[in-house]
């Protein structure tokens, strides 16, 4: 199950109490105070891990606590420090304070750590309070409490290219043609219920990551269809590929589809709608009306957006589109340049 948002409670361990003790040994008439300090409480640390790709494990395990420090003991023995609690999160997780909404950290690389809650300091034992004029102190301190926070974790997938468009526009079929990803493909809307990632490899051994986002419909920002909840996963992308179904089977006008999706992107984030974009007329093999295709092409030219025509079934235009994506993500590609269309 793919879960991309979770709320958790983190509580660092409390510090151990300082000890009140006096040395009592034979032949040591003036042993003096010997209470040791309490141990420090364990921290709570978030760790990014590429082997974790969902927040499901945190949805059903929402509390994470560091171990309490051990109390101090006699003979000036300091208590043992509490063990820290490590919480594994996927790379791409953004950490927010659930109360204030403040962004605390953004994980972008494997192995990154973020100390989110500090353990409490151990209390001082009475040996720490001995002075030349106060040789038998009875003062000692309680351990300090560890920090406690309620966090909201939000997963944003790390991808270079994001595929957007109406349901059944051919996004899943395209990602299956240019990568090894095998998303569910069917001839009904909302086949894709969660984002899919695929790695597209080029002839020069370089690669880039493509994200297939569940389809948008009119009113998605109001919660219609699957809403815009998955658009956060393409906020990090460098390029958007906007697929528009130009076949008559959709029953909609391609230009209207394009405008509708752009409105939904802008409603979610103005920056998202301004990202570099390629316009792709998909299912060109089933397009029987040249006017539908031409209207979309004119719109792309008016907006100064690169335009491509593809068929994921026959393979027409797939390599040209893949090459164009690679050039914008990776820079010049050594493989031969293919014609658009």
pLDDT at 219: 60
Out of 155, 188, 203, a domain closes at 155
C-alpha atoms less than 13 angstroms from C-alpha of 237 in its C-beta half-sphere: 30
CA 94 – CA 6 distance, rounded (Å): 11
Cβ within 8 Å of residue 87, ≥6 positions away? 8, 10, 44, 45, 46, 47, 58, 64
Do the domain assignments include residue 340?
no
Domain containing residue 257: 161-330
For residue 172, the Cα-to-chain-centroid distance in whole angstroms is 21
Residue identified by tokens 């570099």 is 276
Distance CA 5, CA 57 (A): 11
* pLDDT for position 188: 41
Angstrom distance (rounded) from CA 32 to CA 6: 53
Residue 336 included in any domain: no
Please check whether residue 309 is in contact with residue 321, taking contact to mean a CB–CB distance below 8 angstroms.
no
Instruction: Please choose, from the candidates 216, 110, 203, 85, the residue with its C-alpha nearest in 3D space to the C-alpha of residue 162.
Output: 216
- pLDDT for 211-265, tens place per residue? 888 767 666 555 554 455 677 778 888 999 999 999 887 778 899 989 988 988 8
User: Which of 175-184, 207-216, 258-267 reaches the highest mean pLDDT?
Assistant: 258-267
Report how far residue 120's alpha carbon sits from residue 117's, in angstroms, rounded to the nearest whole number: 9
pLDDT at 326: 92
Percent of the chain beyond pLDDT 70? Answer: 89
Q: Copy the structure tokens of residue 187.
A: 């001839």
137 and 46 fall within a common domain: yes
10/145 same-domain check: yes
Are residues 8 and 113 part of one domain? yes
* Total domains in the fold of the chain: 2
Q: Are strands 277-282 and 307-309 parallel, antiparallel or unpaired?
A: parallel
> For the chain, what's the residue count?
341
Whether residue 144 is found in the same domain as residue 190:
no
Measure CA of the first residue to CA of the last residue in the chain; give whole Å.
38
The residue to which tokens 């815009």 are assigned: 228
In terms of domains, do 169 and 278 share one? yes
* 191 pLDDT more than 60: no
> SS3 for 296?
helix
The average pLDDT across 96-110 equals 94
Q: Return phi, psi of residue 199, to 5°.
A: -105, 115
227-236: per-residue pLDDT in tens?
556 777 788 8
Q: Quick one: 63 exposed, middle or buried, by C-beta within 10 A (0-12, 13-18, 19+)?
A: exposed
Average pLDDT, the chain: 86
Question: Buried b vs exposed e over 85-94: b needs ≥16 C-beta within 10 Å?
Answer: bebebbbbbb
Selection from 63-72, 206-215, 292-301 with the highest mean pLDDT? 63-72
The mean pLDDT of 177-183, rounded to a whole number, is 73
Neighbours of 16 (CB within 10 A): 30
Classify residue 337: in a domain, yes or no: no
Co-location of 96 and 235 in the same domain: no
- pLDDT interval class at 197 (50, 70, 90): confident
Does position 1 have pLDDT exceeding 60, yes or no?
A: no
**Are 247 and 207 contained in the same domain?**
yes
**335 domain-assigned:** no
The CATH number covering residue 57 comes to 2.70.210.12
- Domain-ending residue, one of 138, 155, 172: 155
3-state secondary structure of 173: helix
Which CATH number does the domain housing residue 183 bear? 3.40.50.300
Identify whether 192 is part of a domain: yes
If asked whether residues 32 and 98 sit together in one domain, one would say yes
Beta-ladder partners of 200? 208
Last residue of a domain, one of 91, 123, 155: 155
Same structural domain for residues 300 and 247? yes
Q: Is 219 left (phi over 0), alpha (psi -120 to 50) or beta?
A: left
Residues 104 and 178 in one domain: no
């Amino acid at each position: 199950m793919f879960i991309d948002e979770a709320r958790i409670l983190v509580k660092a361990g409390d510090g151990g109490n300082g000890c009140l003790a006096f040395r009592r040994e034979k032949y040591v008439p003036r042993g003096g105070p010997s209470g040791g300090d309490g141990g420090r409480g364990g921290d709570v640390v978030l760790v990014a891990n590429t082997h974790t790709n969902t927040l499901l494990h945190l949805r059903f395990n929402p509390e994470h606590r560091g171990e309490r420090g051990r109390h101090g003991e006699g003979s000036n023995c300091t208590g043992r420090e509490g063990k820290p609690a490590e919480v594994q999160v996927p790379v791409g997780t953004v950490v927010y304070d659930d109360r204030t909404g403040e962004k605390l950290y953004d994980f972008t690389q494997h192995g990154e750590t973020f100390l989110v809650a500090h353990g409490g300091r151990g209390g001082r034992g009475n040996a720490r309070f001995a002075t030349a004029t106060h040789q038998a102190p009875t003062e000692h301190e309680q351990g300090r409490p560890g920090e406690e926070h309620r966090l909201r974790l939000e997963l944003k997938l790390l991808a270079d290219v994001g595929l957007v468009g109406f349901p059944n526009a051919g996004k899943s079929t395209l990602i299956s043609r240019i990568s090894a990803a095998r998303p569910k493909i069917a001839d009904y809307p909302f086949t894709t219920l969660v984002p899919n990632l695929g790695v597209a490899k080029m002839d020069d051994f370089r690669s880039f990551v493509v994200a297939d986002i569940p389809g948008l419909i009119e009113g998605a920002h109001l919660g219609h269809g699957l809403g815009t909840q998955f658009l956060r996963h393409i906020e990090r992308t460098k390029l958007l590929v906007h697929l528009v179904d130009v076949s008559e089977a959709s029953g909609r006008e391609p230009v209207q589809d394009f405008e509708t999706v752009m409105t939904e992107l802008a409603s979610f984030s103005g920056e998202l709608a301004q990202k570099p974009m390629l316009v792709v007329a998909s299912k060109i093999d089933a397009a029987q009306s040249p006017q539908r295709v031409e209207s979309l092409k004119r719109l792309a030219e008016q907006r100064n957006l690169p335009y491509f025509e593809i068929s994921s079934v026959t393979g027409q235009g797939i390599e040209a589109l893949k090459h164009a994506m690679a050039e914008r993500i990776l820079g010049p590609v050594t493989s031969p340049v293919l014609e658009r269309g």
